[in-house]
Amino acid sequence: MSAAETPPTAPDRAGPVVILVEPQLGENIGMAARAMGNFGLSRLRLVKPRDGWPSVPASRAAAGADHIIDHVELFDTVEAAIADLNLVFATTARAHDQAKPVVGPEAAAAEIIGHVAGGGGAGLMFGRERYGLLAEEVALADRIITFPVNPAFASLNLAQAVLLVGYEWFKQSTGGALPHGTPDDSPRAGKEQFGAFFDNLVAELDKVEFLRPPEKRDTMLVNLRNIFTRMEPTTQDINTLHGVILSIAEGRKGPAKGGVLDGSQATRLRALIAEQSSKATDDGGSLRGLARLLRRNPTDAERLLWEALRSDRRFAGHFKRQTPVGRHIPDFVSFPRRLVIEIVNADDPPAIAAERDARKIWLGERDYRVMHVAAADIETDLEAVLARLAADAQG
C-alpha cells in the first residue's frame, strides 16, 4: 500500500522542527516531507525556497503527506526560522572546523527526546542540495550531526538525511516498537488434536506400506512425530494437515472409501470436532473437513445405523451424516423432520459429553429434537433403536 492510500492516523508526537535552508527543488521538499511523515515528524519550516511556495511538485512528491505540506512555515532567514528554539542541530557531511560537539543521529535523537520532554524546543537544520549549509549557518547551531557513511562518497540527498535522523528519533521515542507482528489467530494445537492427526497419518502410511521394514517402524514413527513437533503446529495447521492427508487418500482410492476407525481413533477425532465446534470464531471450513474424515471412516455403530436409515422405508432419504447445522456437526440430521440423532459411546471423554449437551441446547433453541442413542444399543438391538426412532419421529 502506498503512502497516498494511508492517511496519517498516529498521534502527533512532540518532536523536533525540520528546517530546510534554501531548498532548490519542490520534489526534494516533498520527498523530505514524506520521510518526515514516515517517522512521526510534522513541523516543517522552509527558508527561502528557490522556486517559491506553494509548490505543485512538492505536493506530488509528498505522496500523501499533506498534513505536513499544508502547514509549512516560511521564513526569510535562518535566524528567524530558529528564533523560538533553544537546541538546534546542523546536519553536514563536511568538517567545518568549528568548536562545537559533533554527534551521530542516534545521540542527537536521544538528546532531542530529553530536551523536548523538559519543555524545550528543538530543530534539525538541513542545507541546500548542491552544497549544504554555509559555515555561518552552522555557527548558529548548538550541535553538528553527521552520519557514519563512506567518507569517499559521503553526500546524501535531502530526503535521505531527513529520513536518517527521523528514523533514529522515532525509534527511540517509541521504544523501537514495530507496527505489527506475526499474526497469532490460531492457538498452538493440543496434544489430543495432534494425536488424532498423527493416528490418521500413520493409518494412511500403513496402507501404502511406507513404514517398513518392520524392525524400523518404531524409529520411523518417532522421527515422523518429531518432525511435526518441531514445527509447533497451530490448531489451524493441524486442520490443514488433516485435509492434506484426506485429499491424498481420496485421490489415490476414490472418495468415500475408508476403513473403520478403531475406538480410540474415533474418540480422538470426535474430541477434535467437539473442540472446534465450541469455538464461535470457526468459519466451518475446518469442521467440514473433519466431518468428511469421519464419513470416510465410520465406527461399527455408525455404519449399522446409517445403513438402516438409508434402507428402512420409514427413514430413507430423510437423514444426512456428519452434516453441519450452523457451526455444529451432529452424527445424523433430518432437516425435514427437524430431528437429530447423536450416538453416545461408552468411552466418550468429558469434553465430548459437554459439547454434546451444549449442542443439544443449541439445537433445541432452534426447534430441533435431539435423540441420544448408545452405540452399544445399536450393535446389540438395532431394531429396538429403529422402533424408538420411528416413535420419536412421529412425536
Q: Which of 123, 145, 173 is the last residue of a domain?
A: 173
For the stretch 87-104, pLDDT in tens is 999 998 877 778 789 999
Q: Write out the H or E segment, with its range, that includes residue 370.
A: strand 369-374
- Weakest mean pLDDT among 43-52, 197-206, 301-310, 342-351: 342-351
pLDDT at 197: 85
pLDDT in tens, 11-52: 445 789 999 999 999 999 999 999 999 998 999 999 999 989
Helix (H) or strand (E) holding 138: helix 135-138
Report how far apart, in Å, the C-alpha atoms of 141 and of each of 24, 110, 147 are: 22, 17, 17
Structural domain contains residue 271: no
The last residue of one of the domains, among 118, 143, 173, is 173
Contact status, residue 123 vs residue 88, Cβ threshold 8 Å: yes
The answer to whether the CB of 172 falls within 8 A of the CB of 113 is yes
- Distances from the Cα of 11 to the Cαs of 118, 148, 166, in angstroms? 19, 31, 16
Domain presence at residue 2: no
Q: List 328's β-bridge partners, or say none.
A: 325
pLDDT at position 4 is 43
φ and ψ at residue 173, rounded to 5 degrees: -75, -20
In a domain, 330, yes or no: yes
pLDDT digits (tens, 9 = 90+) for 329-357: 788 898 888 899 998 888 777 777 888 88
Nearest to 390 by CA among 331, 329, 308: 308
CA distance 109 to 171: 9
Residue 157 DSSP one-character state: -
* Angle separating helix axes 235-253 and 285-296, nearest 10 degrees: 40
Residue of higher predicted confidence among 324 and 140: 140
What pLDDT score was predicted for residue 126?
A: 94
In a domain, 161, yes or no: yes
- What is the mean predicted confidence (pLDDT) over 165-178? 88
Residues 18 and 156 in one domain: yes
For the segment 60-66, the average pLDDT, to the nearest whole number, is 89
Instruction: State the amino acid at position 252 in one-letter form.
Output: R
303, 331 Cβ separation under 8 angstroms = no
For the record, the C-alpha cell of 33 comes out as: 516531507
C-beta neighbour count of 269 within 10 angstroms: 24
Report d(CA 121, CA 114) in Å as an integer: 11
Note whether 389 and 315 are within 8 A (CB): yes
Give 188's strand partners: 234
| 202 belongs to a structural domain | no
Alpha carbon 65 to chain centroid, angstroms:
28
CATH number at 51 reads 3.40.1280.10
Domain of 347: which CATH number? 3.40.960.10
| Per-residue pLDDT reduced to its tens digit, 215-249 | 888 999 999 999 988 988 888 888 888 778 877 77
Number of Cβ atoms within 10 Å of the Cβ of 214: 7
Of 58, 72, 12, residue with least CA distance to 37: 12
Alpha-carbon torsion, ordered 247, 251, 257, 258, to 10 deg:
-40
User: Has residue 321 got a pLDDT over 90?
Assistant: no
Q: What is the mean pLDDT of the chain?
A: 82
Q: Is the pLDDT of residue 125 over 90?
A: yes
The tally of domains found in the chain comes to 2
What pLDDT is recorded for position 219? 92
Res 297: pLDDT: 63
Do β-strands 143-145 and 339-344 pair in parallel, antiparallel, or remain unpaired? unpaired
Greater pLDDT, 286 or 319: 319
Q: What torsion, rounded to 10 degrees, do the Cα atoms 214, 218, 220, 226 define?
A: 170
Identity of the amino acid at 340 = V
Inter-CA distances, 209 with 217, 246, 262, Å: 10, 17, 19
Q: For residue 51, what is the enclosing H or E element? A: none
pLDDT at 282 over 70: no
The residues, any chain, with a CB within 8 Å of residue 330's CB and separated by 6 or more, are 323, 340, 341, 342, 359, 363, 370
Boundary of a domain, candidates 173, 200, 218: 173
**64 vs 180, more confident:** 64
Letter for the amino acid at 218?
A: D
Listed ranges 262-271, 306-315, 370-379; the one with the highest mean pLDDT: 370-379
User: Does the residue 247 lie in any domain?
Assistant: no
Any domain includes 310: yes
Peptide bond into 213 cis (omega under 30): yes
Q: Write down the pLDDT at residue 258.
A: 47
Give percent above pLDDT 70 in the chain: 82
The answer to whether residue 102 is domain-embedded is: yes
Look at the alpha carbons of 350, 352, 353, 354 in this order and tell me if their dihedral is positive or negative: positive
Domain extent, residue 373, equals 298-395
Same domain? 164 vs 26: yes
Assess whether pLDDT exceeds 50 at residue 6.
Answer: no
Question: DSSP letter string over 120-135?
Answer: --EEEEE-BTTTB--H
